[in-house]
Amino acid sequence: MPISHFKISQSLAGLLATVLLLLASPWAFADHDEAAEFGEDHSWDSLVKVEDSKMARAYIDPHADFSVFKRVAILDPFVAFRSNWQRDQNRSRSRNISANDMERIKTDVAALFKQVFTERLEADDGYEVVDVAGEDVLLIRPAIIDLDITAPDTREAGRTRTFTASAGAATLYMEIFDSLSGDILGRAADRQVVRQAGGRVTWSNSVTNQAEARRMFGRWADRFRNFLDMHYKGNAEGSQ
């Protein structure tokens, strides 16, 4: 089913243009440099490490008042495949993965991510997801990077089936901002590999790939929702 895309207000669009530079910056994952100059518990921009985070790495502004945020805005996710993914796929396929295939997959992944995060954040009287900036709006800037889909669907006719023990893997890199001021309030990174239970080999196709991606994104969304609930709303039912 097609997923509609939210319109981004001018203030959010301007902020996106600014923070997009962060992904291209070598500071994004410069853990060793950060540790040497700022200490292991602080990032280069004075964010503090979250010790018991469910993410692989997370930092937060210790002075931020998250209790003011009642709504959430989600920018369209940036999506990037792992290095040489297309070349490696085309070495083992009878039908090549084209540039159009890659763009379609990235669009589908971004839309699914945004849909799942919206559903999980809004569930059970949670956080309203909006497309405007505001004093009570927390801005999420997500990126799905190092995306590795084991058996992508090219939507071409044919009966070729691909059997795998893993649907693939991806890394989430996410930053959160005050939607009005543009101040960065936190960042987190986490990688997940989707493997079949018991290591069994199953048929991978567009349906199974989407189901696994939805579960992966759902886990990330639940962790973020529970983080907000536990630390800043006080009404979480437990961690994921």
Residue-wise pLDDT tens digits, 172-188: 999 999 999 999 999 99
For residue 222, tell me if it sits in a domain. yes
Span 191-208, average pLDDT: 62
> What is the token pair recorded at 89?
């796929």
For residue 238, tell me if it sits in a domain. no
Q: How far apart are CA 221 and CA 218, in angstroms?
A: 5
| 71-74 and 128-130 beta bridge pairing | parallel
Tens-place pLDDT, residues 129-139: 999 999 999 99
Query: What pLDDT is recorded for position 225?
Result: 94
For residue 240, tell me if it sits in a domain. no
Amino acid at 62: P
> What is the token pair recorded at 169?
């893997």
For residue 190, tell me if it sits in a domain. yes
Q: What's the whole-model pTM score? A: 0.75
For residue 2, tell me if it sits in a domain. no
Domain that holds residue 118: 10-233
Please give the share of the chain, as a percent, with pLDDT higher than 70: 65
For residue 121, tell me if it sits in a domain. yes
Q: How far apart are CA 100 and CA 104, in angstroms?
A: 6
Indicate whether 213 pLDDT > 80.
yes
Tens-place pLDDT, residues 6-56: 344 444 544 444 444 444 343 344 444 444 444 456 566 789 998 878 899
Q: How far apart are CA 51 and CA 41, in angstroms?
A: 8
Length, in residues, of the chain: 240
For residue 3, tell me if it sits in a domain. no
**What pairs with residue 79 in β-bridges?**
144
Nearest Cα neighbor of 175 from 233, 224, 216, 222 is 224
- Domain count across the chain: 1
**DSSP labels for the chain?**
-----PPPPHHHHHHHHHHHHHHHSTTTT-HHHHHHHH-TTB-TTS-EE-TT-SSSEEEE-TT--GGG--EEEEPPPEEEEPTTHHHHHHHS-SSPPPHHHHHHHHHHHHHHHHHHHHHHHHTTT--EEESS--TTEEEEEEEEEEEEESS-----S----EEESEEEEEEEEEEEEETTT--EEEEEEEEEEEE-GGG--EEE-HHHHHHHHHHHHHHHHHHHHHHHIIIIIS------
